[in-house]
Amino acid sequence: MSLSAAFRFGVALNLGYTLLEAAAGLWFGSLALLTDAAHNLTDVGGLLIAWGAAAAGRLKPDARHTYGFGRAPILAAILNAAAILVGVGAVTLEALDRLAAPAEVPGLPVLVVATVGIGVNIGTALLFRSHGAHDLNARGAFLHMAADGAVSAAVVASALVILATGWSVIDPLVALAVGLVIAVTALRLLHEALHLAMDGVPPEVDATAVRSFLASQPGVAEVHDLRIRAHSTTVSEMTAHLVMPDGHPGDAFLSRIAAELKARFGIARATLQVERGDGPTCPAAGG
């Protein structure tokens, strides 16, 4: 399934579930279900943001955006991680309030609706699983929905305990435990997305190995101004200066190097500048 189709089905599933949960909350008078319905509505918004960013990332460069819009999915991953953390914060505050003043929880309706939620959230997460291996934006959507699936599973467990024992305090305790796990996952996603947004070397690229590879090429005496960054969540790019005292080796040499950089390191776009080394150069710090 294409990434666009995954977003399309994911939005439809979650919007349908949100409407179902809101209706159930109103019918049974359950604040817990209505609160979770509002949370799931933010999931729909998160998926729409990620979907829009993925589409923007495919737009061609123009006169004002000569690099294109590949950074849009990276920004979407940051927003997705931030949305997860905001959601965790809201759930944590609500859980602390309920610990201080326990409220009766309608066990059976919560159990039924949360069971449906497990299927919707996990099913949506699986739509993005294969894409998440090489796309940070898709991974953000996957983690967001998988986290919600974990929340639904925890709600089911707590509802079973409530039905068996009447111990309603289990509901906020489970929410706090699951929230902690989700927060750790979201912080990792946020860290990686911010790293890429700040032109950090993509985690799958070994910059030291790239430098060694370039330096080992015939005729290359020195490599400087090596820069590697993520053009988008799926494409890495690189620039470097090669000092070659014998002069330019020809276009075939550069084409071969670019092809090997893509095959060995996953760098899809490489720009190489050849210098003889007999003129002034101003390599940047760390180059």
* Residue 236 · residue 263 · CB < 8 Å: no
Residues 40 and 127 in one domain: yes
Q: If you average pLDDT over each of 1-5, 136-140, 203-207, 211-215, which comes out highest? A: 211-215
CATH number at residue 101: 1.20.1510.10
Residues 216 and 241 in one domain: yes
Give the per-residue pLDDT at 31. Answer: 55
- The first and second tokens of residue 201, run together, are 């070397």
Q: Which whole number is the average pLDDT over 273-285?
A: 65
Helix (H) or strand (E) run with residue 243 in it:
strand 236-243
Q: Which whole number is the average pLDDT over 102-131?
A: 79
Give the per-residue pLDDT at 72. Answer: 83
Give the per-residue pLDDT at 194. Answer: 92
Percent of the chain with pLDDT over 70: 88
Query: Residue 189: inside a domain, yes or no?
Result: yes
Residues 253 and 140 in one domain: no
Q: Inform me whether the pLDDT recorded for 146 exceeds 60.
A: yes
Confidence label for 269 from pLDDT (cuts 50, 70 and 90):
very high
Residues 132 and 269 in one domain: no
Give the per-residue pLDDT at 96. Answer: 83
Q: What is the mean pLDDT of the chain?
A: 81
The letter for the amino acid at 100 is A
Confidence label for 201 from pLDDT (cuts 50, 70 and 90):
very high
Residues 103 and 231 in one domain: no
Residues 191 and 221 in one domain: no
CA 244 to chain centre: 41
Query: Residue 283: inside a domain, yes or no?
Result: no
Q: Inform me whether the pLDDT recorded for 179 exceeds 80.
A: no
Report the helix count and the strand count for the chain, using DSSP H and E.
8, 3
CATH number at residue 240: 3.30.70.1350
Give the per-residue pLDDT at 34. Answer: 64
Domain end, chosen from 145, 169, 197, is at 197
Q: Which whole number is the average pLDDT over 189-205?
A: 89
Count up the domains in the chain and report the number.
2
Residues 256 and 115 in one domain: no
Give the per-residue pLDDT at 61. Answer: 84
Residues 22 and 74 in one domain: yes
Give the per-residue pLDDT at 70. Answer: 81
Residues 96 and 189 in one domain: yes
Domain end, chosen from 158, 179, 197, is at 197
Query: Residue 284: inside a domain, yes or no?
Result: no
Range of the domain at 130: 3-197
Domain end, chosen from 197, 226, 255, is at 197
Give the per-residue pLDDT at 284. Answer: 42
Report the alpha-carbon distance of residue 239 to residue 226 in Å, rounded.
6
Give the per-residue pLDDT at 243. Answer: 94
Query: Residue 214: inside a domain, yes or no?
Result: yes
Query: Residue 265: inside a domain, yes or no?
Result: yes
Other beta carbons less than 10 A from residue 245's beta carbon: 12
- The pLDDT tens digits for 22-70 are 887 777 656 556 666 766 777 787 788 777 777 877 788 888 988 888 8
Helix (H) or strand (E) run with residue 229 in it:
strand 222-230
Query: Residue 227: inside a domain, yes or no?
Result: yes
Residues 168 and 264 in one domain: no
Q: Inform me whether the pLDDT recorded for 281 exceeds 60.
A: no
Give the per-residue pLDDT at 283. Answer: 45
Q: Inform me whether the pLDDT recorded for 82 exceeds 80.
A: yes
Residues 173 and 38 in one domain: yes
Report the alpha-carbon distance of residue 239 to residue 242 in Å, rounded.
10
Give the per-residue pLDDT at 33. Answer: 64
Residues 69 and 190 in one domain: yes
Name 100's Cβ contacts closer than 8 Å, sequence gap at least 6: none
Query: Residue 9: inside a domain, yes or no?
Result: yes
Other beta carbons less than 10 A from residue 96's beta carbon: 12
Give the per-residue pLDDT at 263. Answer: 93
Give the per-residue pLDDT at 282. Answer: 44
Query: Residue 24: inside a domain, yes or no?
Result: yes
